[in-house]
């Protein structure tokens, strides 16, 4: 394993372990399949999505031109920006199609007892 890969794994581990706190943001019933919801926690603007029965939380704004991703199409594990067509993975925020080149931030999501929580 290359040293940079070890660093990336440690960073991911510590992010998961050191996450400050989960905040309840919605009831599971508030989002239908492929539904989206704007959430603001602290200074973070987040888009909560329900896709293929799971919940995901990603940055609210596209990294290409900083327009809202809300209203974009959810399909095959990605969200498409409704303005310029950039595509991002809702699992890890990676760019799947231009014109974006920078990934978007993803947030840990926990579902318990019909509530959805996001960690920031």
Tens digit of pLDDT for each residue in 45-72? 999 999 999 999 999 999 999 999 999 9
Residue spans of the domains in the chain: they are 21-119
Q: Using CA atoms, how far apart are residues 118 and 63, in angstroms rounded to an integer?
A: 21
Indicate the average pLDDT of the chain: 89
Residues 90-107, mean pLDDT to the nearest whole number:
97
- The fold adopted by the segment(s) 21-119 is Rieske Iron-sulfur Protein (2.102.10)
pLDDT on residue 42 = 87
What is the phi/psi pair of residue 3, to 5°?
-55, -35
Give yes or no for residue 7 having a pLDDT over 80.
Answer: no
Percent of the chain with pLDDT over 70: 83
Peptide bond into 14 cis (omega under 30): no
């Amino acid at each position: 394993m290359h040293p940079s890969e070890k660093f990336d794994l440690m960073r991911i581990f510590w992010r998961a372990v050191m996450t400050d706190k989960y905040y309840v943001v919605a009831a599971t019933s508030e989002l239908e399949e492929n539904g989206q919801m704007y959430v603001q926690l602290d200074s973070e603007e987040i888009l909560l999505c329900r896709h293929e029965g799971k919940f995901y939380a990603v940055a609210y704004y596209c990294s290409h031109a900083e327009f809202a991703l809300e209203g974009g199409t959810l399909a095959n594990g990605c969200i498409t920006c409704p303005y310029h067509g950039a595509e991002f993975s809702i699992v890890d925020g990676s760019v799947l199609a231009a014109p974006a080149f920078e990934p978007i931030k993803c947030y840990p999501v926990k579902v318990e007892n019909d509530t959805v929580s996001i960690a920031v």
